[in-house]
Structure 1
Amino acid sequence: NYFYPDLPTGYQISQLFYPIVGEGVVEVEAEDGSFFNVGIERLHLEQDAGKLIHDLSPTESFVDLNRAGTALMEIVSRPDIRSPEEAVAYVKKIRTILMYLGTCDGDMEKGNLRADVNVSVCRPGQYEKFKATGDFSHLGTRCEIKNVNSFRFISQAINYEARRQIEILEDGGKIDQETRLYDPTAGETRSMRSKEEAMDYRYFPDPDLLPLELEQAWIDDIRASLPELPDEKRRRLMSQYGLSQYDAVVLISDQAKADYFEEAAKGRDAKLVSNWVTNEVSARLTADGKEFSENPLPAAHVAQLVELIETNVISSKIAKEVFDHVWNGEGSPAEVVEKHGLKQVTDTGAIEKAVDEIIAANPDKAAAVAEKPQALGWFVGQVMKATGGKANPAAVNDILKAKLGL
């Protein structure tokens, strides 16, 4: 039974005894690069409710029923999450998996992915007893924060709620099991209603729903047609392209980003391509308020830019200038280099001439380099400045060391 105006039927259809997916485990990467497992208790289907809106009027509440009655997939996790950071990492991982599968677009702002965050606190040592025995009495009383719709709000809501519960317990009080909501403006959780137990829901079988029998052959067909999932892709990127775990995890976090990388990395230095994709390209898209799937830059342009660096046509420093021009629509990297005369100076004669002029103009500094070798960096900077940043840095270093006797 359902006694709220956001579901006009007065009851919500849900799966109780026979969820469509049973138990499982999700491997999640923590901020420090380590992995932890979160147990999945069940995944069941139920009807979604509408949306109650309370901030359009000081005296009235509104209800948006566009979503009411549509199918909702609820994933119930085990109490394996110990911090706000782990909670955010877990939801991000679930979101990535669902987006790879194509079962959810992951748009939290529109409410297409939401988190009901259950928070409880316990005394030191009690959680370990729970893990050893499975006895929930070792854990604290939980409060459920409904419909949190951003990673930032998930973290903020957990932090606030944990502090609130600790303060109550330290003052000698007790936690009431209840449903709460998070107010991001005030940065606090507020009580909505006391938490219902199973008996309060008054479950009853829906006589209009027939039993759903899933044939094993159909399940096997689905399993065989599954796309490459994030964990598989991470392991493959590491083995096939020699990427670090960190780089692979950053790439797989967005399917469009991972696909873009693979297209650009064909025949190129994969680590260099990864750096350009995850740093420069991602930063420009973020600055423009675009998703990676809206990237206007062809992967072939990143591949060509990396090729120009690999073949010493341009330096890494000049490459950033080239990228600026390419991003602004001035053509391919090769065309930009030609148009703006940005080819790297590899003619040792030209570099030697610039080095000789700078040494001659700064005899005192040149004499001091023998005692203070780190001063070589100043000369490198002056040569690069004199050549408009186009001199090959390795050649500049070699010539300076030879001329200064290092």
Structure 2
Amino acid sequence: MAQDTAPQAPPTAPATPARALLPLILPAVLVGAGASLLYLLVSGVAERLQGVLWETLPDALGIGRYSVPWMLVMLTATGVAVGLVVWKAPGHAGPDPATLGLDAPVLPPVVLPGLLVATMLMLAGGPSLGPENPIIAVNVALAFWLGRRLVPRVPGPVWPALAEAATIGALFGTPVAAALVFSEALAGRPLRGALWDNLFAPLAAGAVGALTTGLVAHPSFDLGLPPVGNHPGWGDLAAALVIASLAALSGMCAVYAFPYVHNAFRRLRHPMLALPSGGIVLGLLGALGGHLTLFKGLAQVAELARSPEGWSAGQYARMTVVKLAALLVSASCGFRGGRVFPSVFVGCAFGLTAHALVPGVQPAVGVAAGVLGMLLAVTRQGWVSLFTAAVLVESPPALALLCVASLPAWLLVTGRPQMQLRDDGTPIR
């Protein structure tokens, strides 16, 4: 009797029953709201402190708010202040930030106060890093330690997933970002149940985090640039392809330099040497690039976008190079912060440089493509890069251009070193 030799399809994982997913809704809601409120609290305190340091204090002293002397003083003082926290706080404000990405380890609770203080000082003082990595780390630790004690029935690994999704949703103002990040993280892993079963609880946490942020703070990522139009032309496609690829190559220059710059600061062997030294370098970079190259970059991106014609190609290019160098130094010398938000500024300035050089390049196309390429190089997160670039211009026709432009840019960065290091200082691939 002949046997059927056709290949058999792999068995499909059984779907998770609803009764197993329903108990996760309440933990997801609590973690989502808590993660968002903590993010808003940290951001609010940092913004108030920034106003004191960069407005109230220089005005009282009769010094220009963003004069070169004041930038040097403030960036150096920020390095000293954060260095003291890293040196003296229990747990030294967490592990070396150069070794961390968006997927945070579960830190001991004793580390969290120092990490929060170091983050708020950094955000207020002007280094070119965002709040994403430390806020995710704090929320992951709090969710894990409180969740295991208050709701022991929920498996331990669920809590970090909820906290990461909730914080990403709060940071970007939408749960779509969290769903995209988790779908990318789940790729290649054996799944227990369907994909949406695995995304159910994180998506709920991300949605609550995003809604809480939206109701309290009303954030918007739309830069208000002139729309691309319903029918982008071949010139727009060519511009997106070239700009995204060149931005990715520019970002890879910083990625390749990252371990060397990090090693140079690590040779100083003490946070009270490395961080003040980094602050001095950042002050000099701020003097070269201007005040728009300070801080995490989102408010500064909005200022650039309000007047795309307000700076020359040379000025945009200088801001691009200075901000990328400031990101490199800030991430290498020990400041606690993430690399996503300042990369958005670098990509935006890169795209506006292209627009200033070639007026036929639409500002929205230049900005979106520049941000896409830069984020692909720095984060190696395809979905986050594409999503962030798309929401900045809020133009559905631009999304098709970005999808095509992401392909050559991804080929330029995939398989190469990442802007994240192992504990021994070697880059992760």
Is TM-score (shorter-chain normalized) higher than 0.5?
no
Task: Give the number of the structure whose residues are more often helix, by fraction.
Answer: 2
Larger Rg: 1
Q: Which has the higher contact order (CA 8 A, sep 6+)?
A: 2
TM-score (normalised: structure 2): 0.22
Task: Give the number of the structure whose residues are more often strand, by fraction.
Answer: 1
